Structure 1
Amino acid sequence: MGTEEDELSVFRDRWKQELNKSTKAAKEKEGYFGDQNKDGSSVHQSTSFWENQSSVSQPTPKEQPEYVSIAEGLLDGRSGPLLDRLEHERTRTRKRAPESEAPKTDAPPKKVNASQKLLEQFLQDLNEVNDIPFFDVELPYELALKIFNFLGRTDLGRCAQVSKSWKVLAEDELLWYRLCLEEGFQKGANISDSPCWKSTVRDCRNTENAVKSNWKNRVGSIRHLQYELGKVLCDVSSCAGLVIAGYTSGDVRLWDTLHWDKFYLKPTHSIRNETPAPYASHVRVNKTIAAAAYENGCVDVWSTVTGLEPIHQYQHLQRVHVLDLSPDGPALASASGPDVRVDAPDEQGYWRSQSLVQLPKPVDGVLVVPGKRDIPLVTAWAGESVYLLNSRPEEEQEPRVLHSVYGHPVTCVDTSPSRAAMGIKSCGWGMNDGGNKIQVYGLESGQCELTMGNSAGDFTCVNLRDSGPHLLLCGNRDRRVRVFDLRTGSSVLSLYAHHMGVTAVQADDWRIVSGGGEGLVIVWEMRIGAKLWEMHNRHPVRHIRFSSSTLVTANIPDEKSPRGACITDDDLTAHRRYRGLICHYDFSMDSSSQDHILPICRSNYAESSGYNYNIGLSMPYDTLSGP
């Protein structure tokens, strides 16, 4: 330690000696201090800043000391002279060990000007820093950009405040374009689509925070999708802004909620003029395909892009019990009795049957496994067995049994691209093993990976594909919504709400939306396990689908032909009681904008009109004027 302190003392003395010497300034100086003016003084902003801070009236010296040139080179990125001088000092002091400290002088202290103060601060910084920071080392721009590529938004913002060269690097368009895509904004955009990707990321995050605040505070607009007298709702499906509904009159209606276009899809029975028209019992939609199944066993397929006429149609011998459409492509699965049929277009685009399989028992449900595949992969369950169907049209293969336990029926199933989760009902002796459970299977291995839950009630719904990462969401007849961690198999959250059992659930990384048999829709904050708000309508909630800014819910009546009332009459009250309801919530709207508020919601509470509307969505109670 003594040797290092002696070296530092000698080094400081030599710097102070150079301070008292006057040297001629370099003819060509570029960098942080700029070029000289006619008087030979430095005119760069940074020098003027330090001089103005110390003494405004002090004149600028005509000739600069040598340390100023070295400092200019350091700040401008030319660290060679400084490194050479430091190495020279270290080599010279190693050859001879100093016998004593530098002699003290009894001369009176000289007046210290701003330059000397700057030098003392610079020497103090050198004393604290062991190595030269990397921004003083000359690096290729591409290499520095590669290093900055590993930083996030916060780190890039901090780096932009270090120096001008770092600011240029931290605000490079390529870095912010990558961040924009990684955070899910502007999907599919090119780097040339925005003049400033940093501003684009900032605007997108502000919008996201505003929409999240609207979700939590129930600020937005609500729209009830149009209905007509004499039509009872049978089934609802939604995907990517498209909402499809089937009615007891046989009509199938499709809404585009992004542009608010609505139109009827022409079913096959309307073209044939069949009377009476069969019920549209099941409907499904994805981004490009819409499908409907009817009571008479007919299945129609439409394209949401090309037109309203069916592009494919086939017939089952019995009533279609279940129907499912792939969320990622044109693959359709339907089941009638024990028969499961899978249809998809071939390489030329013509629809045809891919497989037709008969199971030992009547089918309870089918699901097309999400993900793009050459051959559709379908999961079907019947009784206590779950089957995996993956066969080519020219090959006859037996369905692969994924799960089967005698006496333990399957109550609900959901799939992700690699897993399948199912609710198992324990009966008889199985109740002694902890009650009803959720089991998770791997689709590739066909083995049970996890067994979770311990409930006396039946699991009515499970959501695996839409839940957050490593999470599984399920609903139960015991009125609880449960969240499980797929990494540990433990329950992380249990929410009690629906007194008639949970019928539909969906979740993302921070919110949960659940629906019950009593018609209640509840929005939860997952991280704190608190209820944010709720909405109630008549009939059980059978469909829930939400995106970042919208929510679609459907209350579908169990009774399709109500007794003791004629819904075909011009009785609006009776029609509302039995028809079912589709609600579309938009939380990106401004609550102060009157264009997006239903007329019934603009009431001042003095009018007697209105029925079962919660106007808190569009007009908070605290903004109402007094009577």
Structure 2
Amino acid sequence: METEGAVDVWSTVLAREPVHHYQHCQEIQAIAVASDSAAIATCSGYQIRLESSDEKGYWRRTYQFELQKLVSYLQLVPGAAVNSGENQLLVAAAEDTVYLLNPDTEPKVLHSIYGNNVTCLDVSINQVACGVKSFGWIMSHGNKVQVYCLQTSQPLATLGNSAGDFTCVNLKDSPPYLAVTGNKDRKVRVYDLRTSKEVISLYGHQLGVSSVQMDDWKIVSGGEEGLVCVWEQRMGTKLWEMHSRHPVRHLHFGAHTLVTANIPDEKCPRGASIMDDDLTAHRRHRGIIYVYDFSIDKSAPVLPICRSTYDEDVGYSYNIALSMPYDQIK
């Protein structure tokens, strides 16, 4: 995906060349990839484009939407096109409005509050969660997360009341009736959707939280300062952390792996051009993807600090640190 609007779709099996390519006229603002089908959605300006692959592997444009506002967030509804004959549903946030997009019908408004822009978005099989800026000048009306039912378009819950903007929310990966959020106030919060109450609050980032995900027992959060934290949600304690140069824009973990994408705020170094000889400045402004594999042989040099014994005074390995280090042995 390029700033010129070009989109390349790659196969994780055949990764030598893109399996599909298409072009937008302007810079791409958001992209969404289906986890349960061969479909991808991108938005550029006021245009949303849905591309999918048929049973023979041929990619084509499935549908194209035109909205009246600039799109900032885009999500594909999981499970919406698993069975043949069903349309792939999309949810798009454009400024202060959230739309449900179905190729067979006109765009449907799920949420709209004039002047209160949407700050984050996530979608599960039957629910939508969106962060919304403060409702007004009154201090009691802080920033919130609104949860809606996809089938009925009715509001289900209103979460939080924070002075900082909600910058990320994870609904589809969270356990039933729970949602995890990240905020500019540097806190990670978990809410119970049945009561709309906060059940967990974690504080460990120096800057705003930019990405979150949780499962039955752990929470992983990434921050603007480049810190990735793994939390034990039942005890509310930090288990592990890793620091990188650039902010953590995306993260996703599975049973044994963790993938993070660190993207700099400033992608072009000031005063440097492609013709300059100093490549160090350019490397500092490159984003990087980290893949952590926790299933490999414990003797491999992945986390030396985690293999320290009580015979050692301290455990240390560059930018890796345990939140509860070993006691000093005297």
| Residue 186 (structure 2) aligns with | 479
Q: Work out whether residues 213 and 252 of structure 2, in 8 Å CA contact, stay in contact via their aligned partners in 1.
A: yes
In 2: Cα distance, 1:616 partner to 1:501 partner:
20
Deviation (angstroms), 1:576: 5.3
Deviation (angstroms), 1:555: 2.1
In 1: Cα distance, 2:265 partner to 2:171 partner:
26
- What count of residue pairs does the alignment treat as equivalent? 309
Give the AA of the match of 1:460.
T
| Residue 578 (structure 1) aligns with | 285
| Residue 428 (structure 1) aligns with | 136
1:417 counterpart SS class: coil
Deviation (angstroms), 1:513: 1.0
Deviation (angstroms), 1:426: 1.4
Candidates 133, 151, 156, aligned match of 1:444: 151
In 2: Cα distance, 1:542 partner to 1:408 partner:
23
Q: Work out whether residues 241 and 321 of structure 2, in 8 Å CA contact, stay in contact via their aligned partners in 1.
A: no
- Residue 104 of structure 2 corresponds to residue 405 of structure 1: no
Q: Work out whether residues 366 and 380 of structure 1, in 8 Å CA contact, stay in contact via their aligned partners in 2.
A: yes
Deviation (angstroms), 1:386: 0.3
In 2: Cα distance, 1:409 partner to 1:383 partner:
5
Give the AA of the match of 1:328.
D
Give the AA of the match of 1:388.
L
Deviation (angstroms), 1:499: 2.5
Deviation (angstroms), 1:433: 4.8
Deviation (angstroms), 1:570: 6.5
| Residue 311 (structure 2) aligns with | none
| Residue 389 (structure 1) aligns with | 101
- Residue 318 of structure 2 corresponds to residue 613 of structure 1: yes
- Tell me the alpha carbon deviations over residues 512-549 of structure 1, each in whole angstroms, 9 at most, x when there is no partner: 11111111111111001112232222111112211222
* CA pair 523-351 structure 1, distance change in 2 beyond 3 A: same
In 2: Cα distance, 1:400 partner to 1:487 partner:
25
Q: Work out whether residues 148 and 155 of structure 2, in 8 Å CA contact, stay in contact via their aligned partners in 1.
A: yes
Q: Work out whether residues 242 and 321 of structure 2, in 8 Å CA contact, stay in contact via their aligned partners in 1.
A: no
Deviation (angstroms), 1:348: 5.3
In 2: Cα distance, 1:381 partner to 1:322 partner:
10
2:10 counterpart SS class: strand
- Residue 45 of structure 2 corresponds to residue 337 of structure 1: yes
Deviation (angstroms), 1:495: 1.0
- Residue 65 of structure 2 corresponds to residue 357 of structure 1: yes
Give the AA of the match of 1:367.
Q
Q: Work out whether residues 329 and 372 of structure 1, in 8 Å CA contact, stay in contact via their aligned partners in 2.
A: no
* CA pair 299-578 structure 1, distance change in 2 beyond 3 A: closer
| Residue 91 (structure 2) aligns with | 379
* CA pair 516-446 structure 1, distance change in 2 beyond 3 A: same
Deviation (angstroms), 1:346: 4.0
Larger Rg: 1
1:502-513 superposed matches below 5 A: 502-513=209-220
Deviation (angstroms), 1:587: 2.2
In 2: Cα distance, 1:332 partner to 1:551 partner:
22
1:434 counterpart SS class: coil
1:294 counterpart SS class: coil
Deviation (angstroms), 1:581: 3.4
Give the AA of the match of 2:301.
I
Q: Give the helix-richer structure, 1 or 2.
A: 1
Higher relative CO (Cα under 8 Å, sequence separation at least 6) belongs to 1
| Residue 207 (structure 2) aligns with | 500
Candidates 290, 309, 314, aligned match of 2:17: 309
TM norm structure 2: 0.85
TM norm structure 1: 0.46
- Tell me the alpha carbon deviations over residues 102-147 of structure 1, each in whole angstroms, 9 at most, x when there is no partner: xxxxxxxxxxxxxxxxxxxxxxxxxxxxxxxxxxxxxxxxxxxxxx
What is the aligned-residue identity percentage?
56
Q: Work out whether residues 458 and 477 of structure 1, in 8 Å CA contact, stay in contact via their aligned partners in 2.
A: yes
1:22-421 superposed matches below 5 A: 293-306=1-14, 308-346=16-54, 349-373=57-81, 374-392=86-104, 397-421=105-129
Give the AA of the match of 1:321.
Q
Q: Give the strand-richer structure, 1 or 2.
A: 2
Specify every segment of 5 or more residues in structure 1 that has no aligned partner in the other structure, as ranges: 1-292, 602-611, 623-627
In 2: Cα distance, 1:343 partner to 1:512 partner:
32
Q: Work out whether residues 328 and 372 of structure 1, in 8 Å CA contact, stay in contact via their aligned partners in 2.
A: no
* CA pair 404-533 structure 1, distance change in 2 beyond 3 A: same
Deviation (angstroms), 1:621: 8.3
Q: Work out whether residues 520 and 541 of structure 1, in 8 Å CA contact, stay in contact via their aligned partners in 2.
A: yes
Deviation (angstroms), 1:589: 3.3
In 2: Cα distance, 1:516 partner to 1:382 partner:
24
Specify every segment of 5 or more residues in structure 2 that has no aligned partner in the other structure, as ranges: 306-316
1:11-26 superposed matches below 5 A: none
Candidates 265, 268, 273, aligned match of 1:561: 268
* CA pair 615-303 structure 1, distance change in 2 beyond 3 A: closer
Give the AA of the match of 2:125.
P
Q: Work out whether residues 523 and 531 of structure 1, in 8 Å CA contact, stay in contact via their aligned partners in 2.
A: yes
Structure 1 stretches of at least 4 aligned residues deviating more than 6 Å after TM superposition: none
| Residue 455 (structure 1) aligns with | 162
In 2: Cα distance, 1:548 partner to 1:311 partner:
28
Candidates 295, 299, 307, aligned match of 1:588: 295
Give the AA of the match of 1:329.
S
- Tell me the alpha carbon deviations over residues 42-75 of structure 1, each in whole angstroms, 9 at most, x when there is no partner: xxxxxxxxxxxxxxxxxxxxxxxxxxxxxxxxxx
* CA pair 307-537 structure 1, distance change in 2 beyond 3 A: closer
